[in-house]
Amino acid sequence: MSNEKEFVIVARGVKKAYREDDRSVEVLKGVDLEVKPGELLAVVGASGSGKSTLLHVLGGLDSIDEGEVTVAGFSVHSLSEVQRGELRNQKLGFVYQFHHLLPEFTALENVAMPLIVRRERDDLAKKKAKEVLESLGLAHRLNHLPSQMSGGERQRCAIARAMVTEPACILADEPTGNLDRQTAASVFESLVSLARSHQTACVIVTHDLDLAAQCDRAVTIADGVIVQADNA
């Protein structure tokens, strides 16, 4: 068996079911997955195959019924809720289909927020936020509210917020799913470029096989299990 210290994220025999009315619906049926430091991994599959649920359990956002998930060597589901929150803040970044930016805060303030939660000094947090936003071509949007930015700009801002803490891994759930094809390609390229330059691992759920092909590796999930793994 591989040495699990070689990996940022490891899932072993992960099972997850939800209650639906009076019955139990199995979503994950024994998933095994390993993500190396700096690796870009695409997770593809049909709608309802368990992609988003997998991402949620990897990030400790959802419980599991069986198995184990480790992030940076920590057994996620053995931690308390407070400890899981600290682990997410220290080791993980999240990007979703919808940007989830706080509407009353500027781009700079939104991106600085995770650092302020860490109790970093306000001026240092904003300095780091400015640097990441500039690296994503948003120097002209630092003091704009989300409502004053385009869809692509908002999503780049969300990527900056995920990257500003220098996490070990980004978990991205359909990060371009709400964008037109041209903007999606540009935003995806920004995410990949920034992740590679920081040697940050990424697990990216996407239905777009062209985008998945830009990653180092792709796995296909079907009916709650990983059925195929390809080098991209």
- The 10s digit of each residue's pLDDT in 48-61 is 778 888 888 898 88
Domain hosting 112: range is 4-231
Determine the pLDDT at residue 230: 61
In angstroms, the CA 85 to CA 139 distance is 30
Q: What distances in angstroms separate CA 15 from CA 19, 56, 89, 136, 225, one per listed residue?
A: 14, 12, 25, 37, 9
Instruction: Give burial (CB, 10 Å; 0-12/13-18/19+) of 177.
Output: middle
> Tens digit of pLDDT for each residue in 181-194?
887 888 888 888 87
pTM score, two decimals?
0.84
Rounded to the nearest 10°, the torsion over CA 105, 108, 111, 114 is -80
The domain that contains 183 carries what CATH number?
A: 3.40.50.300
Closest listed residue to residue 13, CA positions, set 52, 73, 70: 70
pLDDT tens figures, 120-131: 888 899 998 998
Yes or no: say if 47 and 222 are a contact pair by the CB < 8 Å rule.
no
Cα–chain center distance at 189: 15
Number of folded domains in the chain?
1
